[in-house]
Amino acid sequence: MKTANVAATTVLVLLASASIAHAQAPRLVRSLSGPSGRVVGGQFVFDETRNRFVYPQDQSLTVFFEWEAPPGDHVLSASWKQPDGRVVSVSPDVKIQTTTNNLTAYWIFTIAGTLSSGTWTVEIRVNGQPSGSHFFELAGVDPAAGRFTLDQVFKTYGPAVVGVHKLGDDGRRVDSSSGFVMATNAVATAFQAIDGADGVEVEFADGRKVQSVEILAASRLGDWAVLRVDTRSIAPIPRRGADPVAVGGRLAAFAIDSGTRLVVPVDVGAVSPLPIFGTRIRFSPVVSPESVGGPLIDERGIVVGIIGGTLTPGSRIDQRAVKMHPWLLRQQSYDNSASTTAEVPAELPASGKGLSLLKTDPAFTPVLVPMPELVWAGATTQLPKDAADRNVRDAAEFSKNDAQIMVYSYWVKKDKVTRGDLAAAVFDVQNKVRLTIPPRRVTLREQDVRLSFPLVPAVLTTGSYRIDITWDGKPVWRMYIKIVD
């Protein structure tokens, strides 16, 4: 199905040649617009100039600016606002070097039939300073035209939404998430959907299952991944480029309810760029954990987000561990957020990394190996002196001024496991080791025993951390803490 493009801008030619001069603000000399033009002798010449454009006769428009500016390096950016004042498109920053006082540039704006009619504004910044604007009118367009209903989203894109199943070392499913066909032979999902897996199985809407997959691209902090999978003739869901997602807008999400996939409306509450993590789309209501990795689709049928967007990488616990230790569910965080598809590279490699690298790549979190001997674990600032006293005040947030963090665990002898090496390690969000607790030999008894390690929070910078408790070198429990000033 062919979908109209949303408002987009492209800088085709920058007509100044020649130095960033921040001391003096540029002075706008003139701005012009027209349906088309060309470069003649280094100068841009319009075929005709006007400020009113009628769709579909006009498929695009060109806006030209000229300034007086000191010679030097200049950075230009353009923001395009629809009649209600909302920014719907931001062009990439462009760098120009000038040797004279003349600075010129032009942008081409693509007109889609689903844009809003009325007076639009393009605002230009030069070197970060407001440097003029230009007004133009769009007619013949209809923002309601081409909008997808929930029924249309389900019927059009349902076949492109897939199940992404994490496999354990025995080949069985240990967790289930979602994904979608982003391009031919490319399935997008959340990074957490494949993190720590021994294998990944992609299940298509028609029941076809594929286990032979490769990782074309992935981001632990961005919480997205693209898998190379044979998608056959399934049409990809078109995705948006760098155009911003509007706060207050309505999107469609594919959710899972009692094993049935359905489409539900969600509302955008915030769009926030976060340091090191990238941009997150916050929405409501919250969808199910199985929906993580699925698409967020706007009213024009464009996928704008990948559900997930976790800020605690590695916190998704597989079903085997949760079945043995239900308390681990307290560590999981299913935020009502998504990563933006704009952060996924437009050009993907033809081949990727095999799943055998999942366990060796430092970006991936090692899978938990639950032990029935481990009864409970947690973190606190102060443990009761009596080891039999289970009234421990667990905490997830600690101050750098706290004297210590006590990482504790309760153990009991079961089956044939009687002795082992108990240790712990602290990891940052990038999965880098920040603190280690050396292993110590432990003998288990038929009566519960409490074992603990002290950590000094002052040596950690503010932020989120993962603590893994290990037995004979294998992680058997994990928890997440935050360090604040």
User: Identity (one letter) of the amino acid at 451?
Assistant: L
Q: What angle do CA 199, 204, 207 make, to 5 degrees?
A: 100
**What pLDDT digit, counting tens, does each position of 155-174 carry?**
999 999 999 999 988 888 98
Q: Which residues contact 33 (CB under 8 A, 6 or more apart)?
A: 49, 50, 51, 61, 62, 63, 64, 134, 136
- Residue 246: per-residue pLDDT: 84
Q: Of the ranges 57-71, 198-212, 342-356, 392-406, which one carries the lowest mean pLDDT score? A: 342-356
- Please give the average per-residue pLDDT across 88-104, as a whole number: 90
Interatomic CA distance for residues 178 and 480, integer angstroms: 24
User: Identity (one letter) of the amino acid at 195?
Assistant: D
Is a pLDDT exceeding 90 seen at residue 355?
no
- Residue 332: per-residue pLDDT: 58
Extract the tokens encoding 46: 């319009």
Percent of the chain with pLDDT over 90: 65
- Residue 3: per-residue pLDDT: 35
Q: Which residues pair with 209 in a beta bridge?
A: 203
- Please give the average per-residue pLDDT across 282-302, as a whole number: 92
- Residue 89: per-residue pLDDT: 85
- Residue 230: per-residue pLDDT: 95
Contact 419, 388 (CB under 8 A): no
The C-alpha torsion from 298 through 304 and 306 to 308, rounded to 10°, is -80
Exposed / middle / buried, residue 239 (Cβ in 10 Å: 0-12, 13-18, 19+): buried
**What pLDDT digit, counting tens, does each position of 191-227 carry?**
999 998 888 999 999 999 999 779 999 999 999 999 9
> 8-139: what fold?
Immunoglobulin-like (2.60.40)
Quickly tell me which residue has 């769709």 as its tokens: 55
Percent of the chain with pLDDT over 70: 90
Contact 308, 339 (CB under 8 A): yes
Interatomic CA distance for residues 378 and 384, integer angstroms: 13
DSSP states along 420-453: EEEEEEEEETTS-EEEEEEEEEEE--SS-EEEEE
> 374-484: what fold?
Immunoglobulin-like (2.60.40)
Give the residue from 330, 344, 158 showing the smallest Cα distance to 255.
158
Domain boundaries, the chain: 8-139, 147-365, 374-484
Is a pLDDT exceeding 90 seen at residue 54?
yes
Q: Of the ranges 40-44, 84-88, 142-146, 237-241, which one carries the lowest mean pLDDT score? A: 142-146
- Residue 242: per-residue pLDDT: 63
Is a pLDDT exceeding 60 seen at residue 12?
no
Alpha-carbon distances of 268 from 46, 87, 137, 298, 305, rounded to whole Å: 40, 16, 28, 10, 11
- Residue 328: per-residue pLDDT: 66
Interatomic CA distance for residues 126 and 278, integer angstroms: 25
- pLDDT level of residue 53 (50, 70, 90 thresholds): very high
Alpha-carbon distances of 289 from 164, 255, 319, 337, rounded to whole Å: 12, 9, 12, 12
Exposed / middle / buried, residue 317 (Cβ in 10 Å: 0-12, 13-18, 19+): buried
Interatomic CA distance for residues 226 and 1, integer angstroms: 22
Give the residue from 169, 243, 164 showing the smallest Cα distance to 204.
164
Lateral strand order in the sheet of 102-110? 8-13, 102-110, 60-68, 27-34
- Residue 326: per-residue pLDDT: 67
Across 87-198, the runs of DSSP E, i.e. the strands, are: 87-90, 94-98, 102-110, 118-126, 129-139, 161-167, 173-183, 186-189
8-139 and 147-365 share one fold = no
Q: Of the ranges 161-170, 241-250, 291-300, 466-475, which one carries the lowest mean pLDDT score? A: 241-250
- Residue 269: per-residue pLDDT: 93
Quickly tell me which residue has 């001024």 as its tokens: 401
Alpha-carbon distances of 231 from 3, 161, 204, 224, rounded to whole Å: 20, 11, 9, 19
Q: Of the ranges 163-172, 358-367, 420-429, 436-445, which one carries the lowest mean pLDDT score? A: 358-367
**What pLDDT digit, counting tens, does each position of 302-343 carry?**
999 999 999 999 888 877 776 766 666 565 556 689 999 999
- Residue 260: per-residue pLDDT: 85
**What pLDDT digit, counting tens, does each position of 397-410 carry?**
999 999 999 999 99
Is a pLDDT exceeding 60 seen at residue 5?
no
Is a pLDDT exceeding 80 seen at residue 188?
yes
CA 190 to chain centre: 8
Torsion sign, CA atoms 440, 444, 447, 448: positive
Mean pLDDT of the chain: 88
| pTM of the full structure | 0.71
- Residue 9: per-residue pLDDT: 42
- Residue 4: per-residue pLDDT: 35
- Please give the average per-residue pLDDT across 97-101, as a whole number: 92
- As its CATH architecture, domain 147-365 has Beta Barrel (2.40)
Of the two residues 465 and 111, the one the predictor is more confident about is 465
**What pLDDT digit, counting tens, does each position of 450-479 carry?**
999 999 999 999 999 999 999 999 999 999
